Structure 1
Amino acid sequence: MEHRTPITIWLDPVCPYSWQTAAWLRETVDDPDALRWELMSLALLNEGRDLPERARARMRDSGAAGRLFAALGTELDDAARWRALAAFSAWYHHDAPALDAAPVARLLTDLGLPTRYADALADASWDVAVRAEHARSQEAAGGSAGSPLVRIGEATFHGPVLTTVPEPEAAAALLAGLRSLAAVDAFTSVQRLRPDQ
Structure 2
Amino acid sequence: MDQPNPAETVADIWVDPRCPWAWIAANWLREVEQVRPVVARFHVMSLSVLNEGREVPERYRAAMVEGWASVRVCIAAEEQHGPEALRRLYTAMANRIHHDKAGLGRDMILAALDDAGLPVHLADAGDSTDHDKALRASHAAGMEPVGVEVGTPVIHVPGVEGESIAFFGPVMSPSPRGEAAGRLWDAVIAAAGTDGFFELKRSRTRDPIFD
TM-score if structure 2 supplies the norm length? 0.83
Measured at CA, do residues 94 and 195 of structure 1 come closer, stay the same or move farther in structure 2, by a change above 3 Å? closer
Q: Which amino acid aligns with 1:124?
A: T
Give the number of aligned pairs: 195
- Conservation of the 8 A alpha-carbon contact between 1:4 and 1:31: yes
Q: Where does residue 91 of structure 1 map in the other structure? A: 96
- Conservation of the 8 A alpha-carbon contact between 2:23 and 2:94: yes
Query: Which of 56, 71, 74 is the matching residue for 2:76?
Result: 71
Distance 1:179 1:129 in 2: 29
Shift of 1:98: 3.4
Q: Which amino acid aligns with 1:190?
A: L
Q: Where does residue 159 of structure 1 map in the other structure? A: 169
Query: Which of 11, 21, 35 is the matching residue for 2:25?
Result: 21
Q: Which amino acid aligns with 2:29?
A: L
Distance 2:88 2:143 in 1: 25
For structure 2, the 5+ residue unaligned runs are: 1-5, 159-163
CA RMSD between the two structures: 2.2
1:1-197 equivalences under 5 Å are 4-29=8-33, 30-31=36-37, 34-153=39-158, 154-193=164-203
- Conservation of the 8 A alpha-carbon contact between 1:72 and 1:81: yes
Distance 1:82 1:162 in 2: 21
Distance 2:41 2:194 in 1: 23
* Sequence identity percentage: 36
Q: Which amino acid aligns with 1:4?
A: E
Measured at CA, do residues 148 and 131 of structure 1 come closer, stay the same or move farther in structure 2, by a change above 3 Å? same
Say which SS state the counterpart of residue 125 (structure 1) adopts.
coil
TM-score if structure 1 supplies the norm length? 0.88
For structure 1, the 5+ residue unaligned runs are: none
